[in-house]
Amino acid sequence: MFSLSRIQLRRFFLSLVLSFIISLLFFLTGSAHSAQMALAWGPNNEPGVAGYRIYYGLLMDQYSSSVDASNRTSYTLSSLEDGKTYYVAATAYDQYGGDSDFSDEVIFNVPPFDKRHSC
């Protein structure tokens, strides 16, 4: 099991949450009207961190999907459904694939698509 110190985890996930709140962007794209959510976080400089995973789903603390953000410090979730609430958390992982504990959960409400403002 991969382990980061509590302080390092707090810094990493606090920066993830703050960056998420500050840089939250969603776009309505194409004819499917799916939303996107841009996430950004500060890097964890602890030796052994190989990358980050983003987990998300429609139920609190139950993530039905995950994506590997590799060693990037930003990722855009796409094809999110309009009018749905998404619960998002992240982990850091080591070279053996072991995950850290989950970050604090972030809640993202995708607004319903308003056809009056479509192109």
Span 99-114, pLDDT tens digits? 988 988 999 999 887 7
Q: What is the pLDDT of residues 68-90, one digit of tens each?
A: 999 999 999 998 999 999 999 99
Domain definitions of the chain by residue range: 6-112
pLDDT at 64: 96
Does the domain made of 6-112 have the CATH classification 3.90.1150.10? no
Q: What is the pLDDT of residues 23-60, one digit of tens each?
A: 444 433 344 557 899 998 888 888 899 999 999 999 99
pLDDT at 15: 59
pLDDT at 71: 92
Residue 80 CA to residue 113 CA, distance in Å, equals 11
Maximum alpha-carbon separation in the chain: 51
